[in-house]
Amino acid sequence: MKTALVYSDKYLEHNPGMGHPERPERLKAIVNGLKRFSLWSSPEIRIVEPRPAERDDIALVHDPDYISLVEKMSALERPIDGDTPTKKNTFELALLAAGGSIKAGELVMSGEFKNAFALVRPPGHHACRNHGGGFCYFNNIAVMIERLKRDFRLKRIFVLDFDAHHGNGTQEIFYADPSVLYMSLHQHPLTLYPGTGFPDEIGEDKGRGFKVNVPLEPGSGDIEYGEVMREIFVPICEKFRPELFAVSAGFDAHFDDPLTGLRLSTEAYGWLTTMVITQAEKFCEGKVVFLLEGGYDLEALAGGVVYVVRAMLGERFHPPEERTRLKLIDELKMLLSEKWSL
């Protein structure tokens, strides 16, 4: 078997409330989309049931007092912030989401599967060390990475985050850590939550140069993303030589998404995945773990995930041949030049 999909029906029990964008129907749409394309039952895919993360796993990246706060607020059904409500089962389900992410990473690093997609809820990339927000409670991808670093002695992990919102939590947790190269393609922070992810946020101390932020203007789409991936992603992979790729897979940069202003096509998620897998095959035997983040138009979300899974199974998709010249790329190369020659 090549691909694992980590999934539990319990993830559908996470229900922030009527009208909230991060609703159970998101995951239902994904599963139905995969079934419609006969991927859910493909002999090349195994559906794997997750187990909850332990409290000690969460404490690898979050302050103990914050973990206790999430537990307390969940019991009281009080919100983490205005966008991040809790119910009595929120703490339990946030542990299960982090646990599903760990499981996906373990399946890949053990060699049992070449790649894996953790179809988890609630999402995680906005959760910082001592506070949550943006629909996120615990930082699933950060928890997974720290467990894998400990258990498999990983020293170079490349995190690509293509959610339309900057993963401020992931960046904060690893800001001084040179073992994690975090690259985010997101809508410009002056136009979208959480207001972080400017080009000059490149890390600090030993982690300086290991954080790469690509803020794209509203209206940016396949051509701009293709240029950034060719000009920044591929060259920096060749310099960093990752032992694992981890992808915060958000699908809200799609042109139909109601919360953002980016213009990615559905097929773009196929070629973004193809570009990641190509680099993974070059440097780490194809080891890639995808974790579900955002995406709020149900049809676009399901279609995007279908393209990702098709690429994980070996189909190859290609970015548009049309090129553009973004001043942002020159700015990024200059900012990163003290660490990388791109």
| Cα distance between residue 181 and residue 168, in whole Å | 14
Residues 292, 249: contact at Cβ < 8 Å?
Answer: yes
Q: Dihedral sign, CA of 68, 128, 290, 262?
A: positive
- Using the 8-state DSSP alphabet, how is residue 62 labeled? S
Number of Cβ atoms within 10 Å of the Cβ of 310: 19
Q: Identify the active-site residue in 126, 131, 165, 188.
A: 126
Residue 35 CA, distance from chain mean position: 23
Residue 131 among the catalytic residues: no
66 CB-side CA count, 13 A: 19
Locate all alpha helices (DSSP H) within the chain, ordered by sequence: 25-36, 55-58, 64-76, 90-109, 140-152, 168-173, 222-228, 234-240, 268-283, 298-312, 327-335
- DSSP E strand boundaries for 119-263: 157-161, 180-187, 211-216, 244-249
**Alpha-carbon gap, residue 182 to 211, rounded angstroms:** 5
Gap between the terminal Cα atoms of the chain: 36
Contact 326, 228 (CB under 8 A): yes
Distances (CA, A) of 170 to 78, 92, 107, 114, 207: 24, 21, 22, 24, 13
Tell me which residues are annotated as active site: 126
